Amino acid sequence: MKDHNFTTAFTVDQTPEAAFAAITNVRGWWSEDIEGRTDKLGAEFNYRFRDIHRCKMKITELVPGKKVVWRVLDNYFNFTNDETEWTGTDIVFEISRKSGKTEVRFTHVGLVPEYECYHACTDGWSTYTNGSLRDLIAKGKGQPNVGEPMNETERALAL
């Protein structure tokens, strides 16, 4: 059976340890509106973007230089019929060395094309991972959300 979970990956010249440090610095690449610790196993944190999306994550796996996993404990979307679509899904960052570079593979396990939010969510994750997180690792500075839409999908939802 084909894997329908959303997955994307990128490579950088920095070390796996640098990638791991950036991933756990969620305020540096996803959003400055994060409450709670994002770098400790078992910690929980909350994400919020206006009244459009909010979720509560629990860090369920933290392997320095190799892997980070978040479990979505609670989720709310104001633009889907099922406001809780992400609840119970896992967000996985796998870090590995490939051909002298560091690869970061992002998979949102459970984010599938059948979800009403799929287009908006995959667009968002691509913006934040392949853009902002990659820049945080490679250049030392990401472009986290500071309360304003970051891509066309977010702009449309914010109207």
Task: Give a yes or no: residue 131 inside a domain.
Answer: yes
Domain count, the chain: 1
Q: What is the pLDDT of residues 82-101, one digit of tens each?
A: 989 999 999 999 999 999 99
Q: From residue 128, give the alpha-carbon distance in Å to each of 28, 76, 100, 122, 123.
A: 10, 19, 24, 10, 9
- CA gap 67, 85 in Å, rounded: 24
Rounded to two decimals, the pTM is 0.95
Its domain, for residue 60, covers 11-158
Task: Give a yes or no: residue 2 inside a domain.
Answer: no
Task: Give a yes or no: residue 1 inside a domain.
Answer: no
Task: Give a yes or no: residue 142 inside a domain.
Answer: yes
Task: Give a yes or no: residue 5 inside a domain.
Answer: no
Task: Give a yes or no: residue 36 inside a domain.
Answer: yes
CATH of the domain at 119: 3.30.530.20
Q: What is the pLDDT of residues 23-69, one digit of tens each?
A: 999 999 999 999 999 999 999 999 999 999 999 999 999 999 999 99
- CA gap 125, 132 in Å, rounded: 10
In which band, very low, low, confident or very high, does the pLDDT at 3 lie, cut at 50, 70 and 90? low
Task: Give a yes or no: residue 6 inside a domain.
Answer: no
**Residue recorded with tokens 């230089």:** 65
